[in-house]
Amino acid sequence: MQRHFTTLMAAAAIAGAVALLSPGRVFAATSEPADQRIDPAPCVAAVTANDDEQIVAICSPLIDNEKTVKADRIKALIARAEVYDRKDMIDRAIADYDTVLRLDPTLADIFNARGELWRRNGVRPRALADFAAAIKLNPDQAAAKANYKSLALEVERLGAMIAVNNRPSFNCATATRAVDKAICASPELANLDREINAVNTKVVRQAASDSPRAGRAMQREQDDFLAARNASFGRPDYDLQKAMRERLDHLMAVVRN
């Protein structure tokens, strides 16, 4: 009886040893550690030191690690986006802000920051949408409110400019002079004529604010230019485009002074 018990114990011991050495058991014993998170402290230190190169080098692994705590990942993404912004790597900065807002879509400041990047990239509709989103999240977000207002005015001005692009200051449908018809036929000359008229109006208004006499004098100067232009057009030695550019340059100099 004692010998049989001893034999059973020996067999059990052998079976246990085989189980420990089996492939499945070896895999379980060598599985990766449960916690592979990266310490955020070096990233925080790089941000505190305002070291752009170290922020990108040290914070990027923290960002890419799936086990990084969301709050730490967001802070690292924002820090790296700001570096990309300073380096004028706008697309990369936008991409980082995209990720931040996927992780936390309640950050008004980040919507505003991304909107500013879209604006610099010339993508005005997305910029307006981001500024509006920031204001919706935080109606007291002063920067977003100012950005939205200024961009809305810019879009309005651009729309007005597009509406009159390649059109002179007068109605081409009623043009009778040869010089007017030439201006209507040339987009470049048409834009020059419109600009001359707009700047002259400003110059006359500014002069008239000092005295009515000064305003009338500035308008006579413009009338003299138009009379000389009309009389000279068609002569072999007359360059209409050059004359118009010189007139615009003169008016712009008056405005600057």
Identify residue 207 by its one-letter amino acid code.
Answer: A
Tokens (6 digits) for 14: 């052998």
DSSP element (H, E) containing 172: none
- Backbone φ, ψ for residue 12 (5° rounding): -65, -40
What would the pLDDT profile of 246-256 be if each residue is shown by its tens digit? Answer: 999 999 998 87
pLDDT given for residue 21 in this prediction: 36
Spatial separation of the C-alpha atoms in residues 58 and 50, rounded to whole Å: 13
pLDDT given for residue 5 in this prediction: 32
Instruction: Determine contact, residues 97/117, Cβ cutoff 8 Å.
Output: yes
Instruction: Determine contact, residues 40/62, Cβ cutoff 8 Å.
Output: yes
User: Cβ-count burial of 175 within 10 angstroms (0-12 exposed, 13-18 middle, 19+ buried)?
Assistant: middle
Instruction: Determine contact, residues 195/244, Cβ cutoff 8 Å.
Output: no
58: Cα separation from own chain's centroid: 26
* Reported confidence tier of residue 125, pLDDT bands at 50, 70, 90: confident
- pLDDT of residue 239 exceeding 50: yes
Instruction: Determine contact, residues 193/169, Cβ cutoff 8 Å.
Output: yes
Q: Where are the domains of the chain?
A: 42-104, 107-162, 172-256
What would the pLDDT profile of 167-187 be if each residue is shown by its tens digit? Answer: 898 999 999 999 999 999 999
Largest CA distance in the chain: 135
Entry pTM = 0.53
Spatial separation of the C-alpha atoms in residues 75 and 108, rounded to whole Å: 15
